[in-house]
Structure 1
């Protein structure tokens, strides 16, 4: 369910918002405002929608891969790849 609101903006702010929609690839001014509200109301999430801790871990692992790094080749289902790889990894840990 959504609720519609009306807001008044100075013309310059409105023009800046329209420009940001284009530059940041938002689908509409409404989506820009929803995103801005989320960032104010839920600041614990990063721009990518992750917690800062999770995003830091992803970036750390990207820069420092180890023998348990897996790369999806883009073929087939990503979900199937993750489930199959995770199952194999879990089985290997249990059998050690």
Structure 2
């Protein structure tokens, strides 16, 4: 099982990838795919099994590159609720991600 620190580190890389997706897509044509693509695919496959609220949270935070506070406002939830849901998402992913 992955450590929570590893999950957080990899999710930061997933967020970075989606924030710069166009650059990565162009670079893949010129240079080849970066290893981050494997990580992104692993997390995307895992989150497809998540309950719908955790799935939406993943999309908002990591694919949509929003902060927890901004997502709380966008989704009309309290920041504390999003924080608690994020912890559930991390635990879910920790259980699903296998090397």
**Into which bin does the TM-score normalised by the smaller protein fall?**
under 0.3
Higher relative contact order, chain-length normalized (CA < 8 Å, sep 6+): 2
Q: Higher helix proportion, which one?
A: 2
Q: TM-score, normalised by structure 1?
A: 0.26
Q: TM-score, normalised by structure 2?
A: 0.25
